Amino acid sequence: METFTDVLLVTANVGSLFDNVGKIQSEWLQELYKTVHSYKPQFIALHFQEVGGKDYTANMDHAENFFMSIKSSDEMKEYDRFRIYVDNQFQAEDSFTALGSMYFIHRTLKNINQYDFTVKDFRTVMGQNVHLGYLDGVSTVEKEKFPKHFWPDFKWSRKGFMRTRWIIHDQGLDLVNVHLFHDASNLIACESSPSIYSANRRNALRYVINRVSGSCYTPLPFFLFGDFNFRLDTLSLVQHLSTSADVQTVTKHSSNEVEKIICEEKDNDHQVLLQIEEKLFAYLHQAVFREDNGRALLKYDKEVAVFHDVIREEDIKFPPSYPYSEDYTKPTQYMNTRCPAWCDRILMSHSAQEFIHRREGERRVVYNTMGPTVCMGDHKPVFLFFSLKTNVH
């Protein structure tokens, strides 16, 4: 007999929650609980990146309190089993990823098993397990920091992936928390199409997909969700935005290195339309990224397309998820640090998409951002709600 399990997947880069502890964090949690209350899923997977924020040596205690507050909240009391994995061992530089994954099982979901990577078998999920710290000895999670040679020309950072495997009723799933490399410089991102950063992300994502699909364990349908740091094709976008502008390139006196790009309107008193520096992307008509959920710019969102042989995604109908203002009073405004982009995504294998039950009405598939009108930090969390087709004998 075919049955359906309501599933909620959430990905959130929470770095700014710990760099700005206080009201934002409280609002963030309320938006999470609102989403849970609204959809009432039986299985919840929360994938976090940048646990502890930029100053993780000072903030890791705040991060631990954050995770513990979720698990012990009244709003989550109907979820009688959970698994929590937080890589907070920043002293272990060779393996630290700052990833955190939380999984909650509702009391009405009776038949669920989790994979033990050591014994290579599934075990019934019972009780409540919390793993904070060095996760290399935890047999129910697989975690890896990307090797240093992935980005030989850039600073090695805490990027990697974390995987768990589940069987809900008779349906197996891999759930993979991913954090890929960012664009370190807007100017370098403008130099080529695709950019060198895009190529680095492509190599890392292919590596993750090969690991998940490899022969070491029986391949299962998979969901990859995290901060992929996907960016719009910056060179093509800038050419589009500046078609009717005078473009000036400013170089450093000491070298020919580009310091800034300034695009001025040809009329209108030569108003600056767009200014780009290493960490500045100031576009005069920022509303274009919000109007109609930024749909006109989706054609510049190209980084997933090269993986269409193995990966699918629900249609994007929300504005770019990054970089939002961290000013509490400006929850829908973007910062002028980076070109807004759909960094935070939920991707799936073709086989996983086949197990999503599509029906009209209340329990439809929903792919959206959390807290669109509330300050959630520089990333808006992204969620996917759906009913998973499962079989009960």
Residues constituting the chain:
393
Rounded to an integer, the average pLDDT of 118-132 is: 95
Tokens found for residue 279: 């960490």
**Phi, psi of 77, deg, nearest 5:** -70, -20
Q: Residue 63 has what pLDDT?
A: 87
**Low-confidence winner among 109-118, 183-192, 261-270, 281-290 (lowest mean pLDDT):** 261-270
The predicted pLDDT at position 263 comes to: 93
Residue 326, classified by CB atoms within 10 Å of its CB into exposed (0-12), middle (13-18) or buried (19+), is middle
Least confidently predicted of 257-271, 288-302, 344-358: 257-271
Question: 107: closest CA among 40, 172, 45?
Answer: 40
| pLDDT score of 307 | 96
pLDDT at 10: 98
Question: Looking at the predicted structure, is the pLDDT value of residue 359 above 90?
Answer: no
Q: How does residue 187 score in pLDDT terms, banded at 50, 70 and 90?
A: very high
Mean pLDDT of the chain: 92
Q: Across 150-154, 155-159, 216-220, 350-354, which has the greatest mean pLDDT?
A: 350-354
Residue 363 has pLDDT above 90, yes or no: no
pLDDT digits (tens, 9 = 90+) for 316-353: 999 999 999 998 899 999 999 999 999 999 999 999 99
How high is the pLDDT of residue 362? 58
Cα angle for residues 341, 280, 260 (degrees, 5° grid): 125
- pLDDT interval class at 21 (50, 70, 90): low
For residue 393, pLDDT beyond 60? no
CA distance 393 to 391: 7
Distance CA 29, CA 66 (A): 9
Q: What are the residues whose beta carbons fall under 8 Å from the beta carbon of 356, sequence distance 6 or more?
A: 365, 386, 387, 388, 389
The 3-state DSSP class for residue 301 equals coil
Q: What's the average model confidence in pLDDT over 214-243?
A: 93
Query: Which residue type is seen at 46?
Result: L
Give percent above pLDDT 70 in the chain. 96
Spatial separation of the C-alpha atoms in residues 180 and 92, rounded to whole Å: 19
Q: 46: Cβ–Cβ under 8 A, 6 or more apart, which residues?
A: 10, 12, 32, 70, 100, 101, 102, 103, 104
Please spell the DSSP secondary structure of 322-380, one letter per residue.
B-B---TT-TTPBPTTS--B--EEEEEEHHHHHTEE--SSTT--EEEES-TTS---SS-
Q: Which two tokens stand for residue 123?
A: 């075990």
Token pair of 305 as six digits: 């397309």
| pLDDT for the residue numbered 357 | 87
The Cβ-side half-sphere exposure at 216, using a 13 Å CA radius, reads: 10
**Residues paired with 132 in a beta bridge:** 86
Neighbour tally for 281: CB within 10 Å = 26
Task: Please report the pLDDT score of residue 265 as a whole number.
Answer: 87
Query: What percent of the chain shows pLDDT beyond 90?
Result: 75
- Candidate from 122-126, 133-137, 304-308, 373-377 with smallest mean pLDDT: 133-137
CA atoms within 13 A on the CB side of 305: 11
pLDDT at 20 (0 to 100): 67
pLDDT of 140 reads 97
d(CA 222, CA 69): 29
pLDDT digits (tens, 9 = 90+) for 72-114: 999 999 999 999 999 998 988 889 999 999 999 999 999 999 9
Scanning the chain, the segments in alpha helix (DSSP H) are: 15-19, 23-39, 56-71, 186-189, 196-213, 234-241, 350-354
Domain residue limits, the chain: 2-232+285-391
Contacts 24+ apart (CB under 8 A), 360-364: 363/6, 363/387
Q: Which pLDDT value is given to residue 134?
A: 87
Task: Work out the average pLDDT over 32-44.
Answer: 97
- The pLDDT of residue 286 is above 60: yes
Return the pLDDT at 103: 98
What was the pLDDT predicted at 361? 60
pLDDT of residue 388: 93
Q: What are phi and psi of 135, to 5 degrees?
A: -95, 0
CATH number for the domain running over 2-232+285-391: 3.60.10.10
